[in-house]
Structure 1
Amino acid sequence: MNSSIIGSLLSLACILITTRLLLKKYNPHAVLLFSGLIMLSFSFILNYKMPELSDSSGFSGFDLFKYIKESFANTNSNVGLMIMAIGGFVAYIDKIGASNCLVYVAMKPLKLFKKHPYLAASLVIPISQVLFIAIPSAAGLGLLLMASLFPILINLGVSRISAVSVITASTALGIGPASAITASASSIVKLDIVSFFLNHQIVLASILSVSLTISYYFVNKYFDAKSLDTQSKIEVQEKTITAPIIYAIIPVIPIILLLVFSKLFNFFEVPITLDTTTAMLISLFIAVLFELIRTKDIRFVFNSLKTFWDGMGNIFKSVVTLIIAADIFAKGLISLGFIEGLLSLSLNLGLNAVGVSIVMTIMIFLASMLMGSGNAAFFAFGPLVPKIAAKLGVSSTSMILPMQLSASMGRTVSPVAGVLIAVAEIAGVSTLEIVKRNLIPLIVAMFIMLCYQFI
């Protein structure tokens, strides 16, 4: 039997077993970690190309565990640190009463939506999609919206799962000059990144954003009515506002900072850029300054910072470690040739250019779902597009745009995606619940995208 077929069959078996264990509510950290290690072990035994290590131990048995070590190091120095910083900030602003103040202030003009809570929830998607262009981290934006918008939506009468679903949907379309996927796609098709964004991404993304807004309105309303989801409104409404009203600005300071100092706007002659983690730390110290002015008690304020560290720790043990386990799982899939197997299958079906493009777009969507990373799925498929397009006699751009968008859309329905894991932890819901809510609107959006692009 062809070695590539063996690898594909082994990866498929691991996927099925992993899915079954997750549905049976086995610990997802352990399931993903051990599944990934088993697939990496199969890859080594079958002499497949293993993922690169920055510093091999010289013994393959030890290298299996070096993958975990490097994943910890890479995750904690990048997205992991960012997610922990946001988690700590969210915990701190809740402790000092800033979240309550934001809800109190926001509810006054938003009382209009009391009778139409699902309309308010759905409108979050196009508004936040604009923010996603300037803040291109799915997990980062998701957590920022959890700090600012989530309690407001709950107080309007939206269920927790509906509120979380529209927040994650805000990250379904990875577009804009600051997006890593956009940078990769524009580089592959040899187009200027801004031209690719303005001439190709915006039109299709706008159509899909409208589609998501409409479909989420009906899907969330239907599922909440069916499940009689009448969860009590967030406790904020029942509490007395103890902090000064000015504290309402604190939860949105990170978003303001990231927008003002975004590459998208270039407000300053000398470019000033700000990453999400730094913005969170600046916002934390502004919050601390507010508390010092209010309480005039240095000991009390310094002690209150323990809430920030505890928040970081809670996010690390529940969210970051799961992202690391999912990364090992993704490495295992790639090492067994799962991506190459999908690509080979699509090319051997005897389809024309449109057929191959549709199959590859769907396969990237599914790969992103499995791996929990739009970047990993697209970076595996994307570089192969020019050769395939030349062979089929079509434009690389016409193929790559839906593939690029399907990668970020697939992440939005992945139970192991960082953004779903992070927001689910704060909202107190399961990632599988979010996936169930997201699946129908995203499938509708995929169908519309494929019709628009290829029919």
Structure 2
Amino acid sequence: MMNFMPWISIAILIYTGYLLIKRSQTHMTLLLSGLAMLFLAISFGVTNFLPKDVKPSGFVVFDIFDLLRSIGTKQVSGIGFLIMAAGGFAAYVDTIGAAKALVDFCIKPLRRLSQPYLILVLGYLIGTALVIVIPSAAGLAMLLLVALFPILVGVGVSPAAAAAVIGTTACIGFAPAAGTANLAAKTAGVEPVIYLVHYQLPVALCVIASVAIAHYFVQKYYDKKNDDIYSQTQTIEAPEESRAPKWYAIFPILPVILMIIFSKLVYAKIQLNTVSALLLVWVLVVLIELIRFRDAKKVFKEAMQFFKKMGAMFASIVALIICAEFFAAGLKATGVVALLIQSANGLGLGMGGMTTVLTVIVGAVTFLTGSGVGAFSSFAALAPDVAASFGGDPAAIVSPMQIASGIFRAMSPVAGVVIAVAGAVGISPMALVRRTTVPMIVAFVVTMIANWLFFIV
């Protein structure tokens, strides 16, 4: 009878996917699916699903909720707090105009060039670099629509081509700012800055270069074809001129600089924690704002954006990670993970093959739901067990999964960033996806090849 349990769980998994595709609320769908699988495991006599540091309550039903409590406590006090702090810091530097100052500083050199598709490629490269400090795909896209879009259209690039580049700038979410990257680092058991330098950058640089080249030819081809159907373009209004001085552009990247300096990469005698770096720079900027404006009421009100965004990040991302890990615990308890590993061994897939399978699953779910965070967080917790079974590095599995969640989001017609950018330039999401699909497929193929060469072979 135990042999039937994983297959029943797979049926629950498939139904969960169906509900997500139908736009069911992601958090509660994953939570209740995990609950169903854990009750299934109990009905088959499985009781050892608690973490090693959690003692059984004596009643197995209570143990399920002890598991949920344990996951929530661990996430909120660990990676969850890091994600919330990163989101809060990003919101604050955006509120005071420092994020816009950084975007303006990076975009300014493009105004001097006159080669349309070279500017297009450089715009993509600049936008991708900005993801390190502006992790929100939609937030960065809105900034680039104001700062970069007029430049690209002004030199002769079509609005659709400019939109395709802007919509794909955040296809790779970098640590330590992006929530998925921080979760990947935690899952792999490394510091976010080490994950960024050792695991993300080698693959990301290959991907970025290939996507830039693909954009050059794909957008040039479609511009010559000139068959995009435009509707009434929404007015992209420039925000009020930033009150922040130009030198404020340093603040969004200062935590990353400090973390790299005070780490094993540069000066190992002093270690600066990610959250500590974010808090340090936040307090520093608040003090500078007080000196500039001498208006404590105004400055403190803006400083509260840090905490307000932390709360929003808990509701949107950290709570999702908690529900997704609970869902993954159900997959483990019912034997689905063990079945996957056995099947991989039986087919001779090995570490590389299993990595490809999990990455494709994350990509497919992202494409169908438009949510990279939901797809990645649902399956990220499986990576350590899979890696352990093959004697491999968890980062080699979790890194392409994390990158794929951003890649497939950029070519999903139901993704928020795709819908927002398409609407802003007056084309349909499907017309935008037509221009992003080839570059993103190239990105996925290069991701898998580079990850294989760097970390698996």
| TM-score normalised by the chain length of structure 2 | 0.70
Separation in 1, partners of 2:44, 2:229:
48
Q: Say if 1:155 and 1:234, in contact at 8 Å, map to a contact too.
A: no
Seen in structure 2, the aligned counterparts of structure 1 residues 223 and 23 have a Cα distance that, compared at 3 Å, is farther
Seen in structure 2, the aligned counterparts of structure 1 residues 32 and 323 have a Cα distance that, compared at 3 Å, is same
Separation in 2, partners of 1:208, 1:221:
20
Separation in 2, partners of 1:203, 1:87:
25
Structure 2 match to 1:58: 58
Aligned pairs (5 A) from 1:439-450? 440-445=441-446, 448-449=449-450
Aligned pairs (5 A) from 1:170-185? 170-171=173-174
Separation in 1, partners of 2:98, 2:285:
9
Q: Say if 1:40 and 1:332, in contact at 8 Å, map to a contact too.
A: yes
Q: What residue identity is the alignment partner of 1:301? A: V
Seen in structure 2, the aligned counterparts of structure 1 residues 107 and 58 have a Cα distance that, compared at 3 Å, is same
Structure 2 match to 1:407: 398
Separation in 1, partners of 2:232, 2:220:
12
Separation in 1, partners of 2:293, 2:320:
38
Separation in 2, partners of 1:306, 1:426:
26
Paired residues in the alignment total 400
Deviation at 1:203, TM superposition (A): 7.6
Deviation at 1:358, TM superposition (A): 4.6
Identity percentage of aligned residues = 28
Separation in 1, partners of 2:221, 2:330:
38
Separation in 2, partners of 1:57, 1:180:
28
Structure 1 match to 2:240: 239
Structure 2 match to 1:68: 68
Deviation at 1:31, TM superposition (A): 0.5
Structure 2 match to 1:343: 341
2:376 is the counterpart of 1:372: yes
Q: Secondary structure at the match of 1:372?
A: helix
Separation in 2, partners of 1:425, 1:278:
31
Separation in 2, partners of 1:308, 1:87:
8
Separation in 2, partners of 1:232, 1:106:
25
Q: Which ranges in structure 1 are unaligned for 5 or more consecutive residues?
A: 132-140, 185-192, 387-399, 418-423
Q: Which ranges in structure 2 are unaligned for 5 or more consecutive residues?
A: 150-160, 366-374, 409-414, 422-428
Structure 1 match to 2:122: 120
Aligned pairs (5 A) from 1:344-363? 344-349=342-347, 351=348, 355-363=349-357
Structure 1 match to 2:5: 7
Q: What residue identity is the alignment partner of 1:445? A: V
Deviation at 1:380, TM superposition (A): 0.7
Separation in 1, partners of 2:28, 2:22:
13
Structure 2 match to 1:393: none
Aligned pairs (5 A) from 1:185-334? 210-211=209-210, 213-215=212-214, 237-266=238-267, 271-334=269-332
**Worse-superposed segment, 435-444 or 305-314:** 435-444
Q: Say if 1:8 and 1:336, in contact at 8 Å, map to a contact too.
A: yes
Q: Say if 1:148 and 1:252, in contact at 8 Å, map to a contact too.
A: no
Structure 1 match to 2:143: 151
> Cα deviations across residues 226-261 of structure 1 (Å, max 9, x unaligned)?
6869976975x4422223333222222222222222
C-alpha root-mean-square deviation of aligned residues, in Å? 4.6
Structure 2 match to 1:80: 80
Q: Secondary structure at the match of 1:143?
A: coil
Structure 2 match to 1:107: 107
| TM-score normalised by the chain length of structure 1 | 0.71
Seen in structure 2, the aligned counterparts of structure 1 residues 336 and 283 have a Cα distance that, compared at 3 Å, is same
